[in-house]
Amino acid sequence: MRIDIVSIFPEYFAPLGVSLIGKARERGILDVCLHQLRDWTDDVHRTVDDTPYGGGPGMVMKPEPWGEALDDIITSGAATGQDQPRLIVPTPSGRPFTQQLAVELAAEPWLVFACGRYEGIDSRVMAEYATRLRVDEVSIGDYVLAGGEVAVLVMIEAIGRLLPGVLGNADSVTDDSFAPGAMHNLVEGPVYTKPPEWRGHRVPDVLLSGHHGKIARWRRDQALRRTHANRPDLLAALDPATLDKHDRAL
Ligand code: SAM
């Protein structure tokens, strides 16, 4: 997968050189290209923002540098035989970033992330590229960050770990919280490792039993209980047809 990121703070992305994502890049699974938006300005101050039409506090990112940057990136990809990318614009007003969306984006060959700052990017940029590309405005949660860089790091980590060959054990993702399939709309229950007892806390006996059926049942019960306690919104959205007799008795 190719990922282009446009930002006025490309140095924010140093973490993409470490751990799973860093290894995926070394192994050629992920190709990440960082771009400084100011390289597409033509004034001495390398200006990327201006005052908002209609008044109000803060500044808005100007459309011209974004247009120049995105045009060049799209053209460079076309020159190497890439199809059109999907453009992802982080914003608190976007559709929620979920595991389902991460799975969908992990299947794309090429993503371009446009990191906003200040009050965001002039809306005409998204309108313009929506005439040519798939454009998604995406929020990572109901809070406001100072810029899109951290949101993009979050999305790339969630997407990157789903790419084939990135995780040692591909089954890990199917057991995760929110994973499509049995864990859809559920969060994972508690996990344990050795030793069997630590500071008086014992690992539940069932996990030491070696009985795979009982362990699977216990894990499902725990997932349902934890979802009920921490995410009743998810439980309410569960399709009743996915619940068995034992689930309903909980
Ligand atoms: N005025 C905007 C609003 O109220 O919706 C907030 C702008 S915020 C200070 C600056 C940038 O941070 C946004 O353009 C976006 O790129 C990023 N950002 C902030 N919160 C975010 C969130 N929850 N999800 C995704 N991106 C976010």
Q: What is the pLDDT of residues 41-96, one digit of tens each?
A: 999 999 999 999 999 999 999 999 999 999 999 999 888 888 899 999 999 999 99
Are 108 and 71 in the same domain? yes
The pTM for the full model equals: 0.96
114 alpha carbon – ligand 1 mean position (Å)? 12
ipTM exceeding 0.90?
yes
Atom 21 in ligand 1: which residue has the minimum CA distance? Answer: 92
243 alpha carbon – ligand 1 mean position (Å)? 38
Are 124 and 204 in the same domain? no
Residue 190 counted as domain residue? yes
Residue-wise DSSP of the chain: -EEEEEES-GGGGGGGGSHHHHHHHHTTS-EEEEEEGGGG--STT---EEPPTT--SS-EE-HHHHHHHHHHHHHHHHHTT--PPEEEEEEEEEEEP-HHHHHHHHT-SEEEEE---TT-B-HHHHHHHHTTSEEEEEESSSS--SSHHHHHHHHHHHHHTTSTTSSSSTTHHHHSTT-SSTTTT--------S-SEETTEEPPHHHHS--HHHHHHHHHHHHHHHHHHH-HHHHHTS-GGG--HHHHH-
Annotation-wise, does 192 bind a ligand?
Answer: no
119 alpha carbon – ligand 1 mean position (Å)? 7
- When pLDDT is averaged across residues 85-113 and rounded to a whole number, the result is 97
Q: What CATH number has the domain bearing residue 125? A: 3.40.1280.10
Are 154 and 176 in the same domain? no
| pLDDT-wise least confident of 25-34, 140-149, 163-172, 210-219 | 163-172
Distances (CA, A) of 25 to 12, 33, 108, 237: 17, 11, 16, 37
Which residues span the domain enclosing 196?
172-249
Of the three residues 160, 191, 216, the one that is the final residue of a domain is 160
Are 13 and 133 in the same domain? yes
Pocket of ligand 1 (CB under 6 A): 90-93, 115-117, 119-120, 139-141, 143-148, 151
CB-based contact 65:38 (threshold 8 Å): yes
Of the three residues 107, 138, 160, the one that is the final residue of a domain is 160
Q: Taking CA 226 as the corner, what is the angle to CA 142 and CA 177, rounded to the nearest 5 degrees?
A: 65
Residue 82's pLDDT is what? 80
Q: What CATH number has the domain bearing residue 223? A: 1.10.1270.20
Are 13 and 126 in the same domain? yes
Annotation-wise, does 125 bind a ligand?
Answer: no
Are 209 and 115 in the same domain? no
Residue 167 counted as domain residue? no
Ligand 1 atom nearest to 120, measured from its CA? 14
Q: What is the pLDDT of residues 121-180, one digit of tens each?
A: 999 999 999 999 999 999 999 999 999 999 999 999 999 999 999 998 888 888 899 998
